[in-house]
Amino acid sequence: MKTIVTENLPIKTWAATIDENTLNQAKNLANLPFAYKHIAIMPDAHVGYGMPIGGVAAMKGIVIPNAVGVDIGCGVAAVQTSLSGLDTAQLKKMINEVRKSIPLGFKHHKRPQSDKLMPDGGMVVSEKKFPVMSREYQKGRMQLGTLGGGNHFIEIQKGDDGYIWIMIHSGSRNVGYQVAGHYNQLAKEYNSRHGQKVPSQWQLDYLPVSTKNGTNYLREMEYCVHFAEANRREMMRVACAITTDFNPGVTFSEPLDIAHNYAAREHHFGEDVIVHRKGATRATEGAIGIIPGSQGSSSFIVNGRGNLESFSSCSHGAGRKLGRKQAQKKLDLQLEIEKLESQGILHSIRHKKNLDEAAGAYKNIEEVMANQQDLVEIITRLQPLAVVKG
């Protein structure tokens, strides 16, 4: 950990290097009048909207929609199977079936999913308490159990524990996007009406949690966190059913499920605060976490160390080193394909447009893990065998 002391609050960073844009966003956070104690920057950090992805910030009395992001509740689910191996032919058949059975990219289900699969079994979502979700609820039923695009994935992996694992990375789909956009606009309006305490160019507009809109945001954000978990759970159910079809008698562990985009009421350094984790994983002492790599590198099941200086947090993955357009321009398609195929990975790099999710677009996960040994302990290393992307 390094500490930067040039701003109103210290910035504590676990990143080996940090680019100027990401650092400037961290400095903006450190100069917010509501920020508490210090800002924590994880080793996978890179620039985001308003707040760096891989950032952790505690706030007193306010919530910042852009410090959670548009994919509220995005996270990772993982299941250990009883299988010790799968041959390439099996993997190909399973992956093909996954592609047929789970809508990918912008695709949704053609029919609404059961209310029972929605958070709390289809809890009542009133217009008064859930102004956005009451509008989006039926659309959400079409989105539940769908992967999305970008860095979301379904992977079949081999663990150094000797078992095959299934891992899914996805979030709250368009439901979370709608909630984020709605409350960020309200936050802009509030900031404007109350003396522009935060410069608009920082993209860190806020809502006091004591206001109706602040309360509603926290409520709807939490709903989206549960929706994202339900989304991953349904996809995992389908993936496990496909695995069983090809491997009768296989058994599965209880799924692990870890979100990495949310705000939560927590107690740190003697104060009750709202901790914003944007692309960061909670790593309280003894808590199990999941840190995925790129489709060409290891992922990890970890044990939190409860490091107070990071607000008990760790990285959420490897983190980008190239923007999406940068990656498409700079990376060599054939070279990226050869890297994956030399490891025997069934991958999702087919065209130049796919290079935004090539392994070369991401930081070295081994370096990221080495830089957070004081945040987490590795339990299991998982190597990708087959990858589905949106």
Distance CA 307, CA 283 (A): 8
**Nearest alpha carbon to residue 306 among 314, 298, 315:** 314
> Which residue blocks in 49-106 are alpha helix, DSSP H?
88-101
Distance CA 205, CA 44 (A): 24
- Torsion of the alpha carbons at 352, 143, 68 and 387, rounded to the nearest 10: -40
User: Interior CA angle at 371 toward 366 and 376, to 5°?
Assistant: 90
Q: What are phi and psi of 259, to 5 degrees?
A: -85, 155
Q: What tokens does 145 get?
A: 């159990």
Distance CA 239, CA 220 (A): 28
Q: Which residue has the tokens 């999702």?
A: 348
Neighbours of 316 (CB within 10 A): 27
**Nearest alpha carbon to residue 266 among 274, 255, 258:** 274
Q: What tokens does 169 get?
A: 């990375």
**Nearest alpha carbon to residue 285 among 312, 310, 258, 317:** 312
**Nearest alpha carbon to residue 88 among 344, 349, 348:** 344
Neighbours of 196 (CB within 10 A): 10
3-state SS, residue 167: strand
Q: What tokens does 286 get?
A: 């003894």
The answer to whether residue 194 is catalytic is no
**Which of the residues 46, 169, 316, 347 is marked catalytic?**
316
Active site residues: 316
